[in-house]
């Protein structure tokens, strides 16, 4: 691919950061740092900056926790294949973060129900619901607290958009969050 073509595409699509490959904790730290450097110039509002970092962290850690294709790489590091994109939507004049990973077919319904329920709540209800979830062991699993989607919704200016896609017999989950 010609670099000039890539550069034009990135510019036209408002892409600030994109990655597709193996996601790990060290990569999460790296992405947060890299994005922070990019955004310091672009965004003066520190709350928006922070919301972006928090949503990126939740999406990457969701990929690490829920991917149906996670495995252990060299040095006992957990890695899961996935994709993440941070971009600026010129029409809406908003930043968005979207990510994608392979999931187990049987988890589809659980994920849809959870996000639909979160999307049905107002911001004030979400805050209360988040606290209730954090105080109970419900939805707790070995890694996270099962509250990642709630935290994303709290920091987002729109409802969480998601869909599932089947490619070559594998199920993929995509999520899109506007700041």
Partner 1 sequence: MENLIIESTTYTPNINFDAVHGELSIKGKSYPENTFEFYKPVNEWIIEYFESTPNKNINIQLDLEYLNSSSLKAYFDMFDCFEEAQNLGKVIEVKWLYDSEDDITEETGEDFIEDFQGLNIKLVVK
Residues 39-78 that bind partner 1 (CB under 8 A): 46-47, 50-51, 53-54, 57-58, 61, 64, 78
- Interaction between residue 82 and partner 1 (CB under 8 A): no
Angle at 130 between CA 127 and CA 131, to 5 degrees: 90
Record the tokens describing residue 15, joined without a space.
Answer: 């892409």
With respect to partner 1, which residue has the nearer C-beta, 105 or 138?
138
Query: Strand pairing of 71-73 and 15-23?
Result: unpaired
With respect to partner 1, which residue has the nearer C-beta, 103 or 147?
147
- A 10 A CB-CB count for 151 gives 19
Binding piece for partner 1, criterion CB under 8 A, among 9-17, 27-35, 100-108, 156-164: 27-35
With respect to partner 1, which residue has the nearer C-beta, 119 or 171?
119
Residue 97: exposure state from Cβ atoms within 10 A (0-12, 13-18, ≥19): buried
- Interaction between residue 144 and partner 1 (CB under 8 A): yes
Question: What are the residues binding partner 1 (CB under 8 A)?
Answer: 24-25, 28-29, 32-33, 46-47, 50-51, 53-54, 57-58, 61, 64, 78, 127, 130-131, 134-135, 140, 142-145, 147-148, 150-151, 155
């Amino acid at each position: 691919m010609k670099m000039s073509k890539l550069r034009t595409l990135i510019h036209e699509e408002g892409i600030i950061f994109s990655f597709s490959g193996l996601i790990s904790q060290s990569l999460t730290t790296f992405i947060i740092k890299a994005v922070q450097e990019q955004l310091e110039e672009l965004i003066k509002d520190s709350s928006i900056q922070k919301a972006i970092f928090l949503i990126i962290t939740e999406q990457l850690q969701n990929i690490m926790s829920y991917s149906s294709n996670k495995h252990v790489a060299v040095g006992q590091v957990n890695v899961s294949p996935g994709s993440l994109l941070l971009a600026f939507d010129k029409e809406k004049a908003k930043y968005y973060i979207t990510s994608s990973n392979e999931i187990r077919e049987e988890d589809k319904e659980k994920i849809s129900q959870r996000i639909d329920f979160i999307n049905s709540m107002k911001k004030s209800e979400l805050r209360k619901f988040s606290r209730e979830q954090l105080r109970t062991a419900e939805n707790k699993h070995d890694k996270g607290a099962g509250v990642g989607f709630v935290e994303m919704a709290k920091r987002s200016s729109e409802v969480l958009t998601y869909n599932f896609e089947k490619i070559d017999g594998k199920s993929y989950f995509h999520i899109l969050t506007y700041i």
